[in-house]
Structure 1
Amino acid sequence: MEIHPKHKRYFRQALTFGLIWFLFGIIYCLVERGLMGRETIYPSTGNQYDFKNSLLFVGIGSFVLGGIQGWIEAVWFKKLFQTKPLWFKLLVKGSYYLVFLIVFLSTIAIAINSYYLNLSPFDPMVLKTYFIFIGRFPFWSVIIYAAAILTIALFLSEVNNYIGVGMFRNFFLGKYHRPIKEIRIFMFLDMKSSTKIAESLGHEQYFDLLKLYYSHMSDAILETYGEIYQYVGDEIVVSWPEGIGLKSNNCMRCFERISETISTNEGLFLSRFGLVPEFKAGYHIGEVTTGEIGNIKKEIIYTGDILNTAARIQAECNTYNAKVLVSGNLLERLSPVSHREFTEVGTPLLRGKQEAIRLFKWEPDLHPATGS
């Protein structure tokens, strides 16, 4: 049974947080080892010290704590604080995690004392050593250190959300530090009658519409492994590496899932804005050069004729009264089972192009979204 993409994303985030905590936990143990030297007793508490056991307990404890934080962030806090400013997120979430951290470290401290003394965790001697420990600075120094790790993990998570899922990893690993050529699929998705809608709503309410509109696309894009390349006003550009986009027709399923989600939330759009946004999309596949640009502000960009062609294909949707137009280049690569849903509309010479391209109209078989 294949794991749902949403849950894969949760596990990846939990694992990332776990590894960050684990790394800093090991660093803490190494610094502590250097400070303790050959000592086997903590000077401030009188508790026993053993480097190997410290590595074991702190390493495992840090990884588990980080994993829990990552899971809470992905499953709960991300949506709960979606519209809040960064400072508010760090303050409120930091306070929550600080309380959680104190409880967690208290549990670890009692477990270690219970192990060393070979007594029950609820034995008066174990609890006595624990209360001595939390009443002294060493315990709070650990809290301060852990709070710093927590803040770093939260900040990196927010940066990842701001620059795009996967982009931070690419920047960190330097994947596109040197430009590379690759085959990618692009979907240019544009809201219909956006100018008329903006005039009727006013720019502030129109902006709120765009925020809600794009937020409902997020799960669909992530579930189909898409990467948001750009927001251009009322247009969003989504991209897939060749293999990922073609697998199970992920690139086409993305439009289906977006349509289903918007349809499911028709009532919300109607109550807030008096309309339900409609949209059209153009698809194309081809070679691009991908690389980092910029000094003051770095960005990963794609260059190649495929982007202009995909944009022109999307612009032809009105001409053919189509929700979706797909290039013949892409259709040839999709799973054969989906070909029955496509109708060839012609081989037009797109604006600014020297060669005509076969275009196919797609009418997806939509089903109501069940929620996620």
Structure 2
Amino acid sequence: MSILSPKYKRDFYKILPFGIIWLIFGLIFLWIEYAAVIVLGDQKFSKSTIYLTPKIFLFASTSIFFIGCFVGFLEVRFINKYFVTKSFPTKLIGKLTIYVVLMLVIMFIFYHLAASIEMQKSVFSTEVFERYKFFFFSITNISTSIQLAFSLFVSLLYAEVRDNLGQNVLLNFFIGKYHKPVVENRTFMFTDMKDSTKIAEELGNVKYFNFLRSYYNDLSAAILNHNGEVYQYIGDEIVISWQNTKCNAAQNSVDCFFDMQQRLSEKKEEYIKNYNAFPEFKAAIHKGDVTVGEIGALKKEIFFTGDVLNTTARIQNLCNEYNSDLLISELIAKDLKTDNFELKPINNVALKGKANTINIVGVQKKVE
């Protein structure tokens, strides 16, 4: 059992690459600067530089990694959420200002620490401070600032790409997991908002867009807490996936559905106040083998294909007919702990475009 909750585990894997990126570029710049001192033999340059003894190298490597992680922590947990709805120039200038101030403070603190270690003097001594003053007005400071700015730029660029593609998608692109098609056994949940056309007409395009944004944001915690992966947002529909080999996908998917419902209901007054409308949704869950791979000529993405997706979509279309917010296939029901749920079997259901019938199950949560 994982020590971290799914949410904190996700945050950890978003923050860790910041530390790795900063460490890689930090070591590259550190070596370039050290080599320049040795080759050029510039006394002014070397006076502002702290020499790479093994002790200094260990301190520098550890510091750079944890500074990167600290920046990642600030970005993931605090700073980014304040700029989500801002324009690109506002986001750029705002983040740049915050991080420039942060970098100046970091450079001040860690240069004093490194100089103290090299000179074997107190970090508060006059000699260490004089050393920092010389460094501040030296070319070494410029090169260090460039290094930090470059590391910051690359790590923030990574974060933006990751948020647009998705955490797992970006990782799979890097490691080449889906360069060639592979077969995976997965569970899929197709959700669809009720009366979305009517709501869109009443709200208008811009307000409906904000309505959808709030809807997606409010569902995200439930999806994360039950180890779901968002495969696609299609209008007001969300397709969520679980890899069956990694968890009890049947239990997670059904629990996720009711958690999503609960989180929305807790914000009903807020939706009514802001939009005079409340989003309700229906869903279907099914599992089976799918083929996964990279696809696309002008724009690549991870693509799932297989009968399980078509079947899940067609089951979801039956929710209104059977007056059920959640329909699951018999395969899902067999793996589901039923203590908290009431199940209503519906046998020999004909699905549109399919020759064979299927057994499905309506699911309701037991009232305590």
State the TM-score bracket (shorter-chain normalisation): over 0.9
CA displacement 1:329-360 (0-9 Å, x = unmatched): 122233x3457532213330111111111111
Which secondary structure does the structure 2 equivalent of 1:361 belong to? strand
Distance of 1:204 and 1:266 partners within structure 2: 20
After TM superposition, give the deviation of residue 84 of structure 1 in Å: 2.4
After TM superposition, give the deviation of residue 91 of structure 1 in Å: 2.8
Question: For residues 107-186 of structure 1, what are the structure 2 equivalents within 5 Å?
Answer: 107-186=109-188
Distance of 1:110 and 1:42 partners within structure 2: 20
Distance of 2:37 and 2:145 partners within structure 1: 19
TM-score, L = length of structure 1:
0.92
Q: Which of 176, 200, 203 is the equivalent residue of 1:201? A: 203
Distance of 1:5 and 1:222 partners within structure 2: 6
- Contact 1:293–1:301 (CA<8 Å) still a contact in 2? yes
Tell whether 2:360 aligns with 1:342: no
After TM superposition, give the deviation of residue 55 of structure 1 in Å: 2.3
After TM superposition, give the deviation of residue 30 of structure 1 in Å: 2.2
User: Structure 1 residues 11 and 173 mapped into 2: Cα distance closer, same or farther (>3 Å)?
Assistant: same
Distance of 1:51 and 1:262 partners within structure 2: 57
User: Structure 1 residues 366 and 301 mapped into 2: Cα distance closer, same or farther (>3 Å)?
Assistant: farther
- Contact 2:187–2:249 (CA<8 Å) still a contact in 1? no
Distance of 1:257 and 1:227 partners within structure 2: 15
After TM superposition, give the deviation of residue 34 of structure 1 in Å: 2.5
Equivalent residue, structure 1, for 2:18:
17
Question: For residues 1-372 of structure 1, what are the structure 2 equivalents within 5 Å?
Answer: 2-37=3-38, 43-44=44-45, 46-47=47-48, 48-246=50-248, 249-334=251-336, 336-338=337-339, 340-364=341-365
Distance of 1:52 and 1:154 partners within structure 2: 30
- Contact 2:341–2:365 (CA<8 Å) still a contact in 1? no
User: Structure 1 residues 56 and 163 mapped into 2: Cα distance closer, same or farther (>3 Å)?
Assistant: same
How many pairs align?
A: 366
Which secondary structure does the structure 1 equivalent of 2:285 belong to? strand
User: Structure 1 residues 195 and 247 mapped into 2: Cα distance closer, same or farther (>3 Å)?
Assistant: closer
Distance of 1:27 and 1:51 partners within structure 2: 16
Q: Which runs of 5+ in 1 are unaligned?
A: 368-372
After TM superposition, give the deviation of residue 77 of structure 1 in Å: 2.3
Distance of 1:157 and 1:280 partners within structure 2: 32
Which secondary structure does the structure 2 equivalent of 1:357 belong to? strand
Equivalent residue, structure 2, for 1:370:
none
Q: Identical aligned pairs, as a percentage?
A: 36
The more displaced of 121-130 and 336-345 is 336-345
Distance of 1:235 and 1:74 partners within structure 2: 26
One-letter code aligned to 2:220:
S
After TM superposition, give the deviation of residue 29 of structure 1 in Å: 2.2
After TM superposition, give the deviation of residue 42 of structure 1 in Å: 6.0
Distance of 1:130 and 1:304 partners within structure 2: 63
After TM superposition, give the deviation of residue 64 of structure 1 in Å: 0.8
After TM superposition, give the deviation of residue 145 of structure 1 in Å: 1.5
One-letter code aligned to 1:294:
G
- Contact 1:186–1:283 (CA<8 Å) still a contact in 2? yes
After TM superposition, give the deviation of residue 157 of structure 1 in Å: 0.5
- Contact 1:187–1:238 (CA<8 Å) still a contact in 2? yes
- Contact 2:250–2:333 (CA<8 Å) still a contact in 1? no
After TM superposition, give the deviation of residue 102 of structure 1 in Å: 1.4
- Contact 1:40–1:49 (CA<8 Å) still a contact in 2? no
Distance of 2:43 and 2:283 partners within structure 1: 65
- Contact 1:5–1:224 (CA<8 Å) still a contact in 2? yes
- Contact 1:187–1:282 (CA<8 Å) still a contact in 2? yes
After TM superposition, give the deviation of residue 70 of structure 1 in Å: 1.2
TM-score, L = length of structure 2:
0.93
The more displaced of 156-165 and 40-49 is 40-49
Distance of 1:272 and 1:206 partners within structure 2: 11
- Contact 2:192–2:281 (CA<8 Å) still a contact in 1? yes
User: Structure 1 residues 365 and 73 mapped into 2: Cα distance closer, same or farther (>3 Å)?
Assistant: farther
- Contact 2:285–2:312 (CA<8 Å) still a contact in 1? yes
Which secondary structure does the structure 2 equivalent of 1:243 belong to? coil
After TM superposition, give the deviation of residue 86 of structure 1 in Å: 4.2
User: Structure 1 residues 226 and 160 mapped into 2: Cα distance closer, same or farther (>3 Å)?
Assistant: same
RMSD between superposed Cα atoms in Å? 2.1
One-letter code aligned to 1:161:
D
After TM superposition, give the deviation of residue 247 of structure 1 in Å: 5.3
One-letter code aligned to 1:343:
K
The more displaced of 340-349 and 108-117 is 340-349
Distance of 2:248 and 2:275 partners within structure 1: 36
User: Structure 1 residues 79 and 58 mapped into 2: Cα distance closer, same or farther (>3 Å)?
Assistant: same
After TM superposition, give the deviation of residue 245 of structure 1 in Å: 4.9
- Contact 2:34–2:51 (CA<8 Å) still a contact in 1? no
After TM superposition, give the deviation of residue 181 of structure 1 in Å: 0.5
User: Structure 1 residues 85 and 365 mapped into 2: Cα distance closer, same or farther (>3 Å)?
Assistant: farther
Q: Which runs of 5+ in 2 are unaligned?
A: none
- Contact 1:182–1:288 (CA<8 Å) still a contact in 2? yes
